[in-house]
Amino acid sequence: MFTTENLLNVGKVFLSLFGQLFFLFIGISFLVALIQVYVSKERIQGILTTPRKSLNSIFGALLGAITPFCSCSSVPILVGLIRSGAPFSGTMSFLLISPVLNPAIITLFLTFFGVKAMLIYAGSTLTFSVAMGLAMDKLGFAKEIKQVSLKGCAAEEVVFEKLPGTFWHKNLVAWKHSIKEAVMLFRSVVLYLLLGAGIGAIIYGFVPAEFFSRFAGASNLWAVPAASIIGIPMYIRAETMIPIASVLISKGVGYGVVIALIIGGAGASIPEVSLLASIFKKKMIIAFLSCVIFVATATGFLFNIVM
């Protein structure tokens, strides 16, 4: 198994995966930082305070998808939305979609899995997030929110409207800030990128395909819900999981299992749930986790059917 040819193949796969991730991540991080300069947290709150439940839930999901905040940022935004009187359905759709769909994930899906998989993933997670937000509002979970404010995660925010100088000077500052943020973010996740590419390369070179296809193939119906539950305590970062996922699929793991693992891990990590516990009562925490597992499982089965 540990032949020179295998080791060379592992090295080639590692360099290929990491090379793609490096250029994609720098480019995407720059665009993300630029979006956050032009789309401030206050603007998001303003859009979501319109008292229209159906449209508000759609707006919440769309804004969560185009503003890729981490859990440390999205949870304080959630508190701001709640305190400003934003409709409950929109805030829940925003919370559900924000960690599982963003420009980075869309681009990585497009690169590793193709247009069809990207469209199915984006459409499914958006639809289910809107539906879950409306359902939780209908079932009266709005009363399961504590009257608290969250402290601690605040970071200095650069907002285009608040920058001094001319229009062109503001844009120059925004671009410089975005480049700086992209480099800083890359430095903070480079170990995860290396880990993801390394694990993917090792699986590709040394783990037999039969091992995965037997336990996690598309024919194993229990593998999808199990993956959605297993993903939550794993705290999987998309930067780590997506290159691993592409290799797992090539080894015979069902699309649905991989997708359920990604959504479960990204949608309800233990650090995020710990933050939410200071805002939500126990019933609401259980409902939130149930929604994440449902979205992960339903999307996973959809992938198994369509792909």
Per-residue pLDDT tens for 242-292?
767 777 777 777 888 888 888 887 777 666 777 677 788 889 999 989 998
Q: Decide: helix, strand or coil at residue 228.
A: helix
| Amino acid letter for position 8 | L
Give the separation between CA 5 and CA 249, rounded to whole angstroms: 22
> Is 164 a residue whose pLDDT tops 80?
yes
- Residue 220: is its pLDDT beyond 80? no
More confident residue, 223 or 49: 223
Q: What is the pTM of this model?
A: 0.68
Looking from the CA of 195 toward its CB, the CA atoms found within 13 Å total 11
Q: How far apart are CA 148 and CA 139, in angstroms?
A: 22
For tokens 């995020």, what's the residue?
A: 272
Contact 275, 299 (CB under 8 A): no
The whole-number average pLDDT for the span 55-66 is 81
